[in-house]
C-alpha cells in the first residue's frame, strides 16, 4: 500500500487533480481519480485501482469471451487489477512473469517464470491469452506472437494492449543481437512492477501494422478495437484482438 501511495504522489499534479463518478468494467459503479492531465496511467478506479488500459481490456474480454468461466486462460502477469479481475472469478487461470534470474518453466515463489519468446506450455493449451503492455518490451515480438499462437487452441483468441498510435508503421527503437542491445532510436524505458521505475527497455513503438505482424504469426481475423474511456477526461484505448 505504501508503494501505491508513493507512486500516486510522484505522479500527482495538485492543480490537475480531478474526480468523477462512473462505471468500471471490472468492479461496477465507482469513483475515478485523475492525478494529472498528461498521462493515461494517472486515471484510476478508486475501488479496484484499474487504469484506463486495464478497463479497456476487461471490457473487450467480457464481450468477446461471454462464457469465460469455463475457458482455459493464460495471463502474462501475476498481479495488477486485470489479473485480480480474472483470479477472483475462480476460473481456469494460468499466469506467469518473466524473471531475469529464473529459468523459464521454473518457479520463483508461487509464480512461474515464462519467456513469451520460448513458452514451455504444450500446443493447444489455452482458449484465451491476455496481456497488458508487454510486447513492446519483447526483443523478438514476432517470435512471441508465434508462441502465443501455438499454445492457443483452434478458435482461441489473443486479447492484449500495447501503446499503439495512429501511425501506419511501427518504429523499431532497439533490437537484441547476440545478447547485445543495438539502439536504433533514443533509448526509451518504461516502469515495471518487478524491476521498478524506468527500468524496462521499450524495443518499439507500435503502429497500425501490428495487425500485419500478427497475421505473419498465423492469426486470422485480427482487429483493433477502440474502447471509449469511461470518463469525460478522454483517453480512449485500443485493444488488439487476434483469433486463431
**Domains of the chain, earliest start first:** 51-243 (3.40.50.150)
pLDDT-derived band at 2 (thresholds 50, 70, 90) equals very low
What the block records as the C-alpha cell of 14 is: 495538485
Low-confidence winner among 11-20, 108-117, 127-136, 200-209 (lowest mean pLDDT)? 11-20
Spatial distance between the Cα atoms of 58 and 56, rounded to a whole number of angstroms: 5
Closest CA to 170 of 128, 198, 147, 203: 203
**How far is it, in rounded angstroms, from Cα 74 to Cα 158?**
10
Q: In the chain, helix, strand, coil percent, each to 5?
A: 25, 35, 40
Mean pLDDT (whole number) for 124-134: 97
pTM, two decimals, is 0.91
- Residue pair 166/62 in contact (Cβ under 8 Å)? The answer is no
**What pLDDT shows up at residue 194?**
77
Q: How far apart are CA 193 and CA 108, in angstroms?
A: 15
> Which pLDDT band, with edges at 50, 70 and 90, does 4 fall under?
very low
Q: List, in sequence order, every residue forming a beta bridge with 107; answer none if it has no partner.
A: 112
For 32-47, what is each residue's pLDDT tens digit?
999 888 767 788 999 9
Amino acid at each position: 500500500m505504501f508503494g501505491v501511495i508513493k507512486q500516486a504522489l510522484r505522479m500527482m499534479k495538485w492543480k490537475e487533480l480531478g474526480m468523477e463518478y462512473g462505471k468500471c468494467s471490472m468492479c461496477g459503479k465507482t469513483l475515478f481519480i485523475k492525478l494529472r492531465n498528461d498521462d493515461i496511467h494517472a486515471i484510476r478506479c478508486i475501488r479496484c485501482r484499474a487504469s484506463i488500459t486495464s478497463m479497456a481490456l476487461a471490457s473487450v474480454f467480457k464481450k468477446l469471451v461471454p462464457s469465460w468461466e469455463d475457458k482455459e486462460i493464460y495471463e502474462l502477469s501475476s498481479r495488477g487489477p486485470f489479473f485480480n479481475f480474472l483470479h477472483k472469478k475462480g476460473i481456469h487461470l494460468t499466469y506467469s512473469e518473466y524473471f531475469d534470474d529464473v529459468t523459464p518453466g521454473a518457479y520463483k515463489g508461487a509464480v512461474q517464470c515464462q519467456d513469451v519468446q520460448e513458452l514451455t506450455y504444450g500446443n493447444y493449451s489455452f482458449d484465451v491469452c491476455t496481456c497488458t503492455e508487454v510486447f513492446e518490451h519483447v526483443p523478438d515480438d514476432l517470435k512471441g506472437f508465434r508462441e502465443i499462437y501455438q499454445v492457443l487452441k483452434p478458435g482461441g483468441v489473443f486479447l492484449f494492449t500495447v501503446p499503439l498510435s495512429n501511425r501506419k508503421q511501427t518504429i523499431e527503437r532497439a533490437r537484441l543481437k547476440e545478447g547485445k542491445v543495438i539502439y536504433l532510436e533514443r533509448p526509451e524505458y518504461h516502469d515495471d512492477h518487478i524491476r521498478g521505475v524506468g527500468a524496462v527497455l521499450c524495443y518499439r513503438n507500435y503502429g497500425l501494422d501490428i495487425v500485419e505482424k500478427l497475421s505473419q504469426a498465423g492469426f486470422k481475423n485480427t482487429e483493433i478495437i477502440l474502447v471509449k474511456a469511461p470518463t469525460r477526461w478522454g483517453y480512449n484505448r485500443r485493444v488488439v484482438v487476434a483469433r486463431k
